[in-house]
Amino acid sequence: MPNPTIYAIATMDTKGEEIDFIAARIRAAGARALTVDVGTKDPATTRPDIPRETVASHSTNVLGKSDRGQAVAAMADALTAFLRAEHAAGKISGVIGVGGSGGTALIAPALRALPVGLPKVLVSTVASGNVAPYVGATDIAMIYSVTDVAGLNRVSKIILANAARAVTAMASAPAPTTPLPPDKPAVGLTMFGVTTPCVTAVRKTLETNHDLDCLTFHATGTGGQAMEKLVESGLIDGGIIDVTTTEVADLVAGGIFAALPTRFDPILQKQIPFVLSLGAMDMVNFGARDTVPAKYGDRKFHIHNPQITLMRTTPEENKQCARFIASKLNRATSPWTLLIPEQGISALDAKGQPFWDPNANTALFTELESTLETNSSRQIRRLPLHINDPQFAQELVQSFLNLRA
């Protein structure tokens, strides 16, 4: 991309010198850089190309707040609206931000709001810890600042220069961000290790026999979020086969791979073909065994590996899962199909396996049937199959093709 424009963002009341250094390195690498001030307290220490007042004008009551937390949250909202508007106008080729904990919390939400594929780099003092709250389900590249972002020194100059070159390189030759051609639509699928045989069979059939581009997502909470963000952005346009809805069980019981309360909403809002099942809803995910909440001490567990402990869901938890799903699907204005595998919903939920519990499954199935509002275009189908049976994968594919017809 010739002469890309990269927005370089910082709270320039404290990070003006650092963001100017980044901008200078971007320009030296052959790109255009515009510094953006999102400071909320003192005047900028250097002159921004885009002042904070311009950013703040995209929201209300941003500047002048005495509480720092409120000021940061308000400026984060304004920056999100500002960057969305600039991107929609075709002005942005890439974005880089720099900050401590406060600056990272301010800038990251705005970067998450930008489309997947647009280069996004964030240099941060908190990038060596748990970055999930900042990255979410997007493609933000976070770089640990090593030293605090507090002036330029022999270390910070290296880190900031590398970050500048990275975003410039990405913006100069970006990956395609447009949807695939209409003759090869993209389809999203959700998978766990315990539903891999099913999802693999579905994917291979769709790719080989129907020329569809299949994107598989690991159902770890952020996996579902990533899939639905791509639905919102139009990068998944052919439909969803949501085989593994286990994130709902984690949401209900407090597991570490929990869905957001908005799970399923983007799919239904886009009205794309939607087939779902109940993969791995027999389990809730926790970390190492000693991290499981004490209230669950008498439950049935399976040690998946030293870092992941699985807990079998109860009939009552399964009823709550069913009611959550029904609350979403009942609001749908487009067709959907739910397939129920009566002989088990994961590799651990089969005769002779540790999570085999027909009573818990029956509670899930019957609650769905009693709470879901069905008609000719919104259907529940019970099948006398296990979720990983080859025939069940074929039924998922056929149901999906019927909705696409």
| pLDDT for the residue 235 | 87
Answer yes or no: do 24 and 79 share one domain.
yes
Domain boundary among 143, 172, 201: 172
| pLDDT digit string (tens) for the chain, length 405 residues | 567 999 999 999 999 999 999 999 999 999 999 999 999 888 999 999 999 999 999 987 777 666 777 888 899 999 999 999 999 999 999 999 999 988 999 999 999 999 888 999 999 999 998 898 899 889 999 999 999 888 888 999 999 999 999 999 999 975 555 554 556 899 999 999 999 999 999 999 999 999 999 999 999 999 999 999 899 888 899 999 999 999 999 999 999 999 999 999 999 999 999 999 999 999 999 999 999 999 999 999 999 988 899 999 999 999 999 999 999 999 999 999 999 999 999 999 999 999 999 999 999 999 999 999 999 999 999 999 999 999 999 999 999 999 998
Answer yes or no: do 134 and 22 share one domain.
yes
Instruction: Quickly list DSSP for 357-377.
Output: -HHHHHHHHHHHHHH---BTT
| pLDDT for the residue 84 | 95
Answer yes or no: do 88 and 218 share one domain.
no
Q: How many CB atoms lie within 10 A of CB 263?
A: 21
CATH number, domain of 27, equals: 3.40.50.12020
179 inside domain: no
180 inside domain: no
Residues 6 or more apart in contact with residue 344 via CB below 8 angstroms = 282, 350, 351, 353, 356, 361, 386, 387, 388
181 inside domain: no
308 inside domain: yes
Answer yes or no: do 244 and 314 share one domain.
yes
Answer yes or no: do 198 and 326 share one domain.
yes
316 inside domain: yes
Answer yes or no: do 123 and 159 share one domain.
yes
Burial class (CB in 10 A: 0-12, 13-18, 19+), 269: middle
CATH number, domain of 304, equals: 3.40.50.12030
| pLDDT for the residue 2 | 62
Residues 6 or more apart in contact with residue 111 via CB below 8 angstroms = 83, 95, 97, 120, 122, 138, 140
Residue recorded with tokens 């600042």: 145
Answer yes or no: do 235 and 150 share one domain.
no
Task: Give 148-157 contacts, CB < 8 A, sequence gap 24+.
Answer: 148/100, 149/15, 149/18, 149/98, 149/99, 149/100, 149/103, 149/123, 149/124, 149/125, 151/17, 151/18, 152/17, 152/18, 152/21, 156/18, 157/21
Answer yes or no: do 190 and 168 share one domain.
no
178 inside domain: no
Answer yes or no: do 76 and 198 share one domain.
no
User: Total structural domains in the chain?
Assistant: 2
Q: Which domain holds residue 17?
A: 5-172
Instruction: Quickly list DSSP for 38-64.
Output: ---SSPPSS--SB-HHHHHTTSSS-TT
CA atoms within 13 A on the CB side of 402: 15
177 inside domain: no
> Distance between terminal CA atoms of the chain?
39
Domain boundary among 128, 145, 172: 172
Domain boundary among 131, 147, 172: 172
Nearest to 98 by CA among 167, 27, 32, 160: 160
Answer yes or no: do 166 and 296 share one domain.
no
191 inside domain: yes
Nearest to 125 by CA among 261, 286, 255, 15: 15
Answer yes or no: do 117 and 260 share one domain.
no
Answer yes or no: do 11 and 53 share one domain.
yes
